[in-house]
Amino acid sequence: MLIGSGPIVIGQGCEFDYSGTQACKALRAEGYRVVLLNSNPATIMTDPEFADRTYIEPITPEFIQKVLDLEKRRGEPVDAVLPTLGGQTGLNCAMEAHEQGILDSYDVELIGAKPEVIAKAEDRSLFKEAMIKIGLDVPVSGAAHSLDEAREVFEKVGLPCCVRSAYTLGGEGGGFCETLEDFERVVSRGLKQSRIYEVLIEESLYGWKEFELEVIRDRNDNVLVVCSIENLDPMGVHTGDSITVAPAQTLTDREYQQMRNAAKAIMREIGVDTGGSNVQFAVNPKTGRQTVIEMNPRVSRSSALASKATGYPIAKIAAKLAVGYTLDELPNDITRTTPASFEPVIDYCVVKMPRWTFEKFPEADETLSPQMKSVGEGMAIGRTFKEAFQKCIRSMEIQRAGYGLDKNDRWLAAHRRSMEEVAVGAEPASTVGLEGGSADRVVLASRAGEAPPDVDESSATHWPVEDKVLHDKLKNPCQGRPYYIRYAFKRGWTIDEVHELTGIDRWFLDQMAELIEFESTLIANEDQIRSAAEYGGVGIGASLLQQARRLGYSDLQLHRALTIRENQSEVFEKNENGRCYKLVDTCAAEFEAATPYYYSTFEEPSIHIDHGRQIERVDDELRVSTDPHVIVLGGGPNRIGQGIEFDYCCVHAADEARRMGFRTVMVNSNPETVSTDYDTSDVLFFEPLTHEDVMRIVRSIASRGQIHGLIVQFGGQTPLNLAEGLRRAGAPIIGTPPASIDLAEDRDEFQKILKSLDLLQPPNGMASDIREARRIASELGYPVLIRPSYVLGGRAMQMCNNEDDLDQYVRKALEATDRAEAAVRGQRLLVDKFILDATEIDVDAVADYRHPDDPKGECVICGVMEHIEEAGIHSGDSACALPPHSLSASMLKEIERQTKMLALRLGVCGLMNVQFAVAGDLVYVLEVNPRASRTVPFVSKTTGVPWAKVATAVMLGRSLRDVLWERGIGRSPRPIMIAIKAPVFPFSKFAGVDAVLGPEMRSTGEVMGIDDSFGLAYAKAMIATGLSLPLFGNALVSVNDPDKPRVIPIASELRELGFKLFSTIGTHRVLKNAGIDSVIVSKQAGAPEGFLLDLINCGVMDLLINTPVHYGAAWEEGRWRAAAAARGVPLITTLAGAEAAVQAIRAMKKQSRSKVLGVKALQDYAVGMR
């Protein structure tokens, strides 16, 4: 039995789908029967073909028991549980099951790591004891189980110090303390969040260098270090929030071997029998003192990174070691001729950067700390650090083209301005200025990611950036720090000065400084370089251009730096001397690699003398086969709104294309994913998903082979943003044409389409100032939804209940908007009528129209999902039910009809998602996305049909009719189970952030609950999110005025179910009038009634039903919600959510929970279907 890691949360991303999927494959290949438990439907591992028995059920000891029990009753009892591949969640859950005696009672063994091992590695004091025993250096520290104990430890450790809590993931509940006040606050929080109510207080290693070793051990006690990783950000920033580099760059062999010896000793002492572990070290940069920080006795985020960085499949090997293999018995899959019992060496540099989404949590503290805050990561490979660093920046989907020299570069803008002032008779109109090149390029650039363009430099509004700003930004680790370091160097700060403030090793700082110095050379010689680029030739210009390439500069940066004329925008594409692809081969070319896993770089040619002739040749290792290629573009770094669901679709696409006989090519930059596993596709390019990087791949393959097409509709917004540019550059995009994709996003055009089809849209208007916004809003009637016109999706969108909300929003929006963006696009605000009491519907469909209004094509509905929360809550943040739980048959039909009309008109070929709002008999079209949606994996699981594969076959030219027929799927497939998808939020990581749901997506992951009824499925989904609904206790009811009438039945039902009700004054009055008793609580401290915030904070409340009047933690109600999120109290912020919760509680109370909530494997549902 394998235990997955459940929903994607901060600190636990899709790397565990990657490791779990590898493990499933590896174990089944060895003939083991694999039983899988994971609550996350968007994972590849939960596809029914990856395990013999797939349970999408909550990951709790209770459910482990249910699964073990069912398997035993079926006559195929589970023999062992492998808990080391499902992250901290899987490990903790297995430990709990062990402690409760569940595993023993079913005679099940824990393999990979024994309970004692897990305890020794995870329990901070046991771990420290063990380290001291084997003579390793550990920080001065002590454990505490109460605030008093903590104060005792404090005497010994002093300030500054660091607090961590035991058994948490992503450093949750930890913190750095500089004052006694900090200390008490962090300790109290840490104690609460620890599973065993324990914190470790430790000597501060703030500013020390941080390293990680990925270690693997087999039953013969062979220990290998797969990869060393050096954190660019020193100690004090969680490694998940650090820029990290592989291999370690600033250690001598002597120091590295000392670390390696320590890691080996730790593996042995802790007793990890088999499998992978991660060991972290800190090194004092002044003395070289090495200290052990921690170890994870399991596959981790870093091991996924190490696997991708080296080509060594840690999870796969770990799974095989767990069942008894030794390392020398296993082959190295990359070379195929050598064994896995070696240490990979790499002849390139790997840089990983974290991806944050602070723009979604404007109230959150952006300072980086030992508590992880990033939601995803990107990785890049280059021959040098500088190249990899720049490639990684442009992989991050933050609208940066590299390290500086892009449109957000304040220095360059100022430099250009000063040049223009000096130049007489310059041609300002024909050159690219700060605000962008050709209109197309601007559109592409501004669509290149959801993050606002100034996300990383909002404090640098003008050049020169003030010293104070630089000082603060360098001293306090934050997401934009590398850019501020650049500005500091531009201002003439020395490496030593920057080192003093940042603690970043001088070697890394000099690498950055080298790039910055090169910028000056570049700009000083711009005429020569431009002429070399335009006319070719040799000389200084050509050699500088070559040098720029080798330093990782992108076309976009060169364009901007060299003020290339618009109509020659393609000059750089023709001047790519030295471009080549190199292999990731685990062995630095010592052996030939069988696996085509590539990265791009620029290299110097060598000269070959052959019969007196001299030929220059660049060593390009790309092997192109004669088969037609299908290129799948992945989704890049995970972020909110763009996550594992899209990787799921990309993996399916590659799989199906390969099955159909194409040579499949995957392009992606996310190291956590299954898609970047070298055996997911035939060819893997670990590359940034930008126009130029993708076009380079396209040109390289096309010049030597044949490209059947590029699939852009599965990777989410990232590849979609590239589609039109790629098409124009000649890349064959297959599936729904980019023009149709754009059409759906073009407001005016889309409105026309809806009109012509006689479909409804919520009334709306466009405002360019506050007065106009007010006028439109009052015409439409409140509440309204408002957002800046250029922003896609739900970003920066807000619901306004009244004019005050509106004013506040508009003022903030106008302040914050990037000026450059506004100049090009116009500063306009979109105001939509908010349809009250509407039910939101999500529809996924697949179609095979070869052009708009193609009479030969058809559209099939994959699934119609009914949202639990009403329209207005971002669809990604709303729970949803499949099949719909309240739609009438005729309404369902109508929705299907409208979906099909839209698919036909847009000429959808592949997948499509439509969002509707249903109010009474009226159906409004909210949004159409002619691409794979976030819900595809969920719908696929619920219907038992791999829709992304169906869509791929259709896009590759097959008719939908044939594809469905072959798979035995009817014209209107129905769900084979009752399923609920529920979101999971990161609010507990962002202290003080209002946890209310709204139009902006903020969930990081999702779970699926399956059962026989809506109520039970919803209850399971809630358990799976980790916020189990209470069956009794104290419930707060406090709702806004529009919701007051509808809250009465909910409150009365809660009373009937035995809850004690609490309410705020307004709600109290309404309840009282309806004859429902409730205890009144105060919104203010010091009132005679209980102060609500205190009641929440001391754990009196078991359930909060609070629909918002105001948004944000600046309001008292926002603080209630933040407190509930921090304490893990179930919080419901919509009435629809409350209704569903009440149904679920009632269903669970009917009988005792364990009797009611059964488990059933996906494979059994599938049998039922046939």
Partner 1 sequence: MIMTRCALGLEDGTVFVGRGFGATGTASGEVVFNTAMAGYQEILTDPSYCGQIVTMTAPLIGNYGVNREDIESQGQHLSGFVVRELSRVYSNQRATDDLATYLKAAGIIGLVGIDTRALTKRLREHGALRGVISTEVSEPKELVERANAISRMTGQNLAKQVSPERETTWSSDGDQDGLTVIAIDCGIKRNILSQLASAGCSVRVVPGDTSAKTILDRRPDGVLVGNGPGDPAAVTETVAMLRDLIGEVPIFGICLGHQMLALALGAETYKLKFGHHGANHPVLNLDTGRVEITSQNHGFAVDKDSLERVGGRATHMNLYDDSLEGFVCPGKRLFAVQYHPEAAPGPHDSKYLFNSFVELMTRST
Residues that bind partner 1 (CB under 8 A): 220-222, 224, 228, 247-257, 260-261, 285-288, 326-328, 338-339, 341-349, 383-385, 495, 505-507, 510, 514, 582, 587-592, 603-610, 612, 614, 618-619
Q: Which residue intervals of 134-283 are DSSP H helices?
A: 147-157, 180-193, 253-270
Contact 65, 75 (CB under 8 A): no
User: Taking the complex as a whole, how short is the minimal distance between the CB of residue 320 and partner 1, in angstroms?
Assistant: 15
DSSP 603-663: ---EEEEETTEEEEE--------SSEEEEEE---S-BTTBSHHHHHHHHHHHHHHHHTTPE
Which residue, 611 or 1170, is less far from partner 1 as judged by CB? 611
- Count CA atoms within 13 Å of residue 741 on its CB side: 24
| N-terminal to C-terminal alpha carbon distance within the chain | 26
Which residue, 587 or 865, is less far from partner 1 as judged by CB? 587
Rg (CA), the chain: 29
Interacting residues of 1064 by C-beta distance below 8 A, sequence separation 6+: 1036, 1038, 1080, 1081, 1083, 1092
Which residue, 334 or 1144, is less far from partner 1 as judged by CB? 334
Angstrom distances, CA of residue 519 to CA of 349, 423, 508, 727? 22, 20, 17, 32
Q: Which residue intervals of 907-944 are DSSP H helices?
A: 936-943
User: Taking the complex as a whole, how short is the minimal distance between the CB of residue 260 and partner 1, in angstroms?
Assistant: 6
Which residue, 518 or 1115, is less far from partner 1 as judged by CB? 518
Sign of CA dihedral 463, 467, 472, 473: positive
**Greatest Cα-to-Cα distance within the chain, rounded to the nearest angstrom:** 103
How far from the centroid of its chain's Cα atoms is residue 157's Cα?
37
The C-alpha atoms of residue 451 and residue 1000 are separated, in whole angstroms, by: 13
Q: Which residue intervals of 525-586 are DSSP H helices?
A: 526-535, 540-550, 555-562, 571-574
Which residue, 592 or 749, is less far from partner 1 as judged by CB? 592
Which residue, 283 or 1148, is less far from partner 1 as judged by CB? 283
**CB-based burial label for 1166 (10 Å; 0-12, 13-18, 19+):** middle
Q: List phi, psi (to 5°) of 991.
A: -55, 135
User: Taking the complex as a whole, how short is the minimal distance between the CB of residue 542 and partner 1, in angstroms?
Assistant: 15
Interacting residues of 277 by C-beta distance below 8 A, sequence separation 6+: 121, 214, 215, 216, 217, 266, 267, 270, 295, 296, 297, 298
User: Taking the complex as a whole, how short is the minimal distance between the CB of residue 590 and partner 1, in angstroms?
Assistant: 6
User: Taking the complex as a whole, how short is the minimal distance between the CB of residue 257 and partner 1, in angstroms?
Assistant: 6
Which residue, 313 or 1015, is less far from partner 1 as judged by CB? 313
DSSP code at position 924: E
Q: Are strands 349-355 and 244-246 parallel, antiparallel or unpaired?
A: antiparallel
Interacting residues of 252 by C-beta distance below 8 A, sequence separation 6+: none
DSSP code at position 395: H
Nearest Cα to 1159, choosing from 53, 7, 92? Answer: 53
Which residue, 591 or 1032, is less far from partner 1 as judged by CB? 591
Which residue, 492 or 612, is less far from partner 1 as judged by CB? 612
User: Taking the complex as a whole, how short is the minimal distance between the CB of residue 68 and partner 1, in angstroms?
Assistant: 36
Which residue, 338 or 1013, is less far from partner 1 as judged by CB? 338
User: Taking the complex as a whole, how short is the minimal distance between the CB of residue 261 and partner 1, in angstroms?
Assistant: 6
User: Taking the complex as a whole, how short is the minimal distance between the CB of residue 116 and partner 1, in angstroms?
Assistant: 24
User: Taking the complex as a whole, how short is the minimal distance between the CB of residue 700 and partner 1, in angstroms?
Assistant: 17
Q: Angle formed by the axes of helices 1135-1150 and 1014-1025, to 10°?
A: 100
Which residue, 226 or 465, is less far from partner 1 as judged by CB? 226
Which residue, 614 or 972, is less far from partner 1 as judged by CB? 614
Interacting residues of 812 by C-beta distance below 8 A, sequence separation 6+: none
Which residue, 384 or 525, is less far from partner 1 as judged by CB? 384
Q: Where are the beta strands (DSSP E) in 1050-1126?
A: 1059-1063, 1079-1082, 1090-1091, 1103-1106
Which residue, 429 or 609, is less far from partner 1 as judged by CB? 609
User: Taking the complex as a whole, how short is the minimal distance between the CB of residue 578 and partner 1, in angstroms?
Assistant: 9
User: Taking the complex as a whole, how short is the minimal distance between the CB of residue 223 and partner 1, in angstroms?
Assistant: 8
Which residue, 284 or 1028, is less far from partner 1 as judged by CB? 284
Q: Are strands 597-602 and 784-788 parallel, antiparallel or unpaired?
A: unpaired
Which residue, 109 or 514, is less far from partner 1 as judged by CB? 514
Which residue, 61 or 234, is less far from partner 1 as judged by CB? 234
Length of the chain: 1170
User: Taking the complex as a whole, how short is the minimal distance between the CB of residue 401 and partner 1, in angstroms?
Assistant: 23
User: Taking the complex as a whole, how short is the minimal distance between the CB of residue 315 and partner 1, in angstroms?
Assistant: 20
**Which tokens hold the place of 1087?**
């009132």
Contact 382, 391 (CB under 8 A): yes
User: Taking the complex as a whole, how short is the minimal distance between the CB of residue 335 and partner 1, in angstroms?
Assistant: 9
Q: Which residue intervals of 928-987 are DSSP H helices?
A: 936-943, 947-955, 960-966
User: Taking the complex as a whole, how short is the minimal distance between the CB of residue 810 and partner 1, in angstroms?
Assistant: 50
The C-alpha atoms of residue 202 and residue 75 are separated, in whole angstroms, by: 51
Within 10 Å of residue 624's Cβ, how many Cβ atoms? 18
The C-alpha atoms of residue 661 and residue 646 are separated, in whole angstroms, by: 23
DSSP code at position 1151: S
User: Taking the complex as a whole, how short is the minimal distance between the CB of residue 1118 and partner 1, in angstroms?
Assistant: 46
User: Taking the complex as a whole, how short is the minimal distance between the CB of residue 744 and partner 1, in angstroms?
Assistant: 45
Which residue, 327 or 1109, is less far from partner 1 as judged by CB? 327
User: Taking the complex as a whole, how short is the minimal distance between the CB of residue 327 and partner 1, in angstroms?
Assistant: 6
